[in-house]
Structure 1
Amino acid sequence: MLGSAAGGGFPQWNCGCRQCSLARTGDSRVRPATQASVAVTGNGENWLLIGASPDLRQQISQSPHLWPRTPTRDSPITDVLLIGGDIDAIAGLLVLRERQPFTVYAPVELLDLLATNRVFDVLDPTMVRRVAIRPMEPFTCAGNLTVTLLTMPGKVPLFLENNRNAAAEPESAATYAAQIQTAGRIVIVAPACADITEPVRTQLSQADVLFFDGTLFTDTEMIAAGLGSKTGRRMGHTPISGPDGTLTRLADLPGRRIFLHINNTNPILVNDSPERRAVEAAGFEVAYDGMEIDL
């Protein structure tokens, strides 16, 4: 786990909420966190990044597995999979511009997004391949990994929304989760999901380890804190609590269930909070930067 926080990280640079204040004062009940990104390998040598966080340079510096292997430019990062188009999911590509060969895998609409933003031209096309992938069509990449793109209910990235009315319905669009299989085990990374439908539950039930959208504890969390005017679902995220929340809808999944992409307003960031205790009592875990899982 390179980063476990939602966009803006934790503490967020301009936020003085309770959780951010605790983090700034070094309170032992909270852990500062960078923006969500996951690194996976099936052979210990070649690594796939799921999501390209704006904090990627810091995350690589804090992860010895991802350090260069020789005195030359020789990164073990061989592939990057994009599963969302928001800034906190793609901006980290700009960190990888120093003429290092790797492959970017993404659905067509996300590759089109990169193509229409000229800043991403800093990725030398003679070094960085861009490969279009389709949902539900497995492909293999370095590191003995088989990857399948899963479709999740979602919305378009914020910067592409045409309607800026916070009370309006979001412009619906598919977002994606990554299913990674290696040595017969399955990991699913789903940092954004607007609604846990029955098809979504069926897909997620295959996971031995599930990293799932933990952005907000309640749907109106941002509004109640006076920090925003949108509900969680309006932003494309299922709340953890409530009758249609994650604790209820994914209660019976057989594998490990770990919340990531956790917003700075979410009280599960505080170890002794009632919300954190409720999550753990329900059998869920809370991700943290540097978390390692061996399958």
Structure 2
Amino acid sequence: MTSEQRPSEVPGGEPWQWPERVWRDLVGRVRAGRDLTPASWPGGARVAVAISFDSDHETPALRDGHTTPGVLAAGEYGARVAVPRILRLLDEHGVPASFFVPAVSALLHPGEIADYAAAGHEVGVHGWIHERNTLLSRADERDLTLRSLDTLERLSGRRPVGIRTPSWDFSPDTLSVVRELGFLYDSSLMAADEPYELLEDGEPTGVVELPVEWIRDDAPYFAMVRYAGLRPYTPPREVLRVWQDEFDGALRDGGLFQLTLHPSISGHRSRIWLLAELLRHITASGPVWFATHEQIARHVRTEGGLG
């Protein structure tokens, strides 16, 4: 059993002792259904581009009980310095983005949510305090998700339709909560490069998955933990090459290029240029559809016949 699993969800005995029905049931809880890659993207674009930001700010530290000013200041930088810098860059390039925000981040920085909405960006759910949802009971997970929806709706003026779980993972109850609360899409899982429909116990759900990937996330390359061994190990210019290659592959396939950034990580002077260079590379490639995650989910849902 890992620290990310509730005891109640772990079968007894060693994994090699599980009957076939046990591991089949576990694997079959949430799976990828039909591929939702559309035959075409709007405006004759050859590829869809979904840029997203997880505006965590102080919440991962608060979740873990780390409350010293030095730790919290790193998150405050994301809201105070990085977000305005990012919004200026997106405006310069005319690129819409999706911001997934823990509700506590939104309550600490309500003006930021208003700025996202005013600029035409999407605001999506990202938990209450960046909790590890895989450790929660269904009642707690539902309560925190619903409170997050209500908070973001009040601050942005529009009820979110998309969710990205704070742990990029599902508990045994996450998908049923997502369905009950009426989300259009999730963006937490990694079963494909392209959008797909989520299955729950083998049954189609109508929920669109816009898959993420650690390759297309800034944290694995740049994250640091002060009192542990985690240190940045990849120069930004090398990360740019990786993301350019990921985009070029999506372009060849006529598919989706999805990217996840964190303001407190990628909003620094030595890294923000990376996004600027990537956007220039993407724009120079030809007809491209820059869209929010919501816009892409609605398009592939319609084109895929999900209604």
Which TM-score tier does this pair reach, normalised by the shorter chain? Answer: 0.3 to 0.5
Greater C-alpha radius of gyration: 2
- Higher RCO by CA contacts (8 Å cutoff, separation 6 or greater): 2
| Structure in which a larger fraction of residues adopt strand | 1
TM-score, normalised to structure 1, is: 0.33
Structure 1 or 2: larger helix share?
A: 2
